[in-house]
Chain A
Amino acid sequence: MESQDLDKLFRDAMEHAQETPSSRVWEGIQQELKKENKVIPFHKKYRAQISIAAMFLLFFGIGLSLYKKPIPSRTEKVDKVIASIEQKKNISDGHSSSSKEYIEDKIGSSVSSKAADQNLSVNNNTPTLQDKPSVKQEEVYAAPKKKSISHTDQEEIQLLTPDFELAEVQVELEDLVRSLHQVKMIDPTYDGIQPSFAYSTPQEEVKTSLVTRVLNGITKNIMSKHLDMDEKREIEFRNDEEGSLSINIINSFARK
């Protein structure tokens, strides 16, 4: 018999051969697999469910960040305040200017004399500067007078918010004084205004979104049940401009 034929004979016989092993084999396999299966299965078995849940969470998070109200930055808030002031200004031109005039008469004399002195000193030192400040002075002083003629009816309004107007005027006059020292013509800067304005926002502002509001509500409920507390901000959640969440628990430690 050829070698190849011999090989083929055995090969054909063995190809579909089947033999039944004893049951102890499967028992042994099961025992061994039990040791292996303890930690791994959860992650692999529920891979599909976990991945679906992760997707949902991802979309939820994205949706939250998109639906969150855009928090205006500091400069934007300042601009808003300025805009509202200017609006008020435009509305109540008459009475404000008249009050300006009124106050100017009282304080203006001293200021103007001061300004005049400054003017003189400026004149002495730098002839070029002389024209600009004086011109500006005249312009400003001229403007209110013009306006007061046309809007005398609105004088009554001034009684309602005198403090507001006073503050406004004072600062403006200060700015004018400041401007005399400066070469370039600049509009009065409002940097110093914010703290003194009644309309300015409180110093420490808490920015919140839906998530932080919910979390704050929950913590408030929990805290009020366990402790007698008057303060709201024992544990506080906040958002910043970029939307990241932060938790402030310093207060809760500081109390005790």
Chain B
Amino acid sequence: MKLENINLNSIWQGCQAYDKKAQALLYSHFSKKMFAVCLRYANTTLEAEDILQNGFIKVFTKHHLFDGKGSLEGWIKRIIVNTAIESFRQSKAKPTDSIEAHHENTIVSHLSSDTTSYQDLLQLIKELPLGYRTVFNLYAIEGYSHKEIAQMLGISEGSSKSQLSRARQALQEKLIKENTI
């Protein structure tokens, strides 16, 4: 792990100097993990790829905003999540039907983690309506507080809390359904 850290340091320094090789290495190191994050937030795979692309462009062009404190991975993830939220804010005007979202989802992936649970659970998340999905992702998986979520999404804290509880409800029901089938 230590070796990885040292390598990462030099890779990041290369990125700060706009070294193409370093940029390619950074992308290859983080892209898969970050793409999984994107898939949780996006309605479609295409949208997820857009989020990933825009996110990494920000990472490379606004590298100076990383102060070196905390992990680089955490910083990159925050950028990806913020980019994902942008598409939420944009698509807030168009409410998406959960059924439609379900049909559009086609995930082609090579998983390293436990296939069954991960795929199933991911599927459940994607079936949630946009608002529920976003709040659930931010609270339950990313670990933001309701106050932070309210700020990020431009909603009230109360709205964040209610959307979270509804998201949990829906997920529980689906889990029960799946287990019983």
Contact = CB atoms under 8 A, between A and B. Distances in A.
Interface stretch (A28-36, A59-67, A139-147): A28-36
A36 B49 contact: no
Contacts of A41: 17-18
Interface residues of A, number: 30
A36 B32 contact: no
A21 B31 contact: yes
A28 B31 CA distance: 14
A14 B52 contact: no
A18 to B, nearest CB: 4
B53 interface: yes
B144 interface: no
A44 B17 contact: yes
Interface string A2-35: 0100110111011011111110111011001100
Contact of A19 (B107, B117, B141): B107
Q: Most B CB atoms within 10 A — which of A13, A20, A32, A41? A: A13
Given A17-B36, A19-B32, A11 B52 contact: no
Interface in A139-165: none
B49 A22 contact: yes
A125 interface: no
The size class of the interface chain B forms with chain A is 35 or more
Interface string A227-252: 00000000000000000000000000
B112 interface: yes
Contacts of B125: 10
A1 interface: yes
Contacts of B40: 14
A36 B64 CA distance: 14
Interface stretch (B54-62, B68-76, B83-91, B146-154): B54-62
B48 to A, nearest CB: 8
B113 A13 contact: yes
Nearest to B28: A26
A41 B168 CA distance: 48
B131 to A, nearest CB: 17
B18 A24 contact: no
A17 B48 CA distance: 15
B32 A24 contact: no
Contacts of A32: 53, 57
Contact of A14 (B27, B141, B168, B175): B141
Interface of B: 16-20, 23-24, 27, 31-33, 35-37, 39-40, 48-49, 52-53, 56-57, 60-61, 107, 109-114, 117-118, 121-122, 125, 136, 139-141, 165, 168, 171-172, 175
15 contacts: A3-B165, A6-B140, A10-B136, A11-B141, A13-B118, A17-B113, A19-B36, A20-B109, A21-B49, A25-B35, A29-B60, A33-B20, A45-B18, A45-B19, A47-B17
Interface of A: 1, 3, 6-7, 9-11, 13-14, 16-22, 24-26, 28-29, 32-33, 36-37, 40-41, 44-45, 47
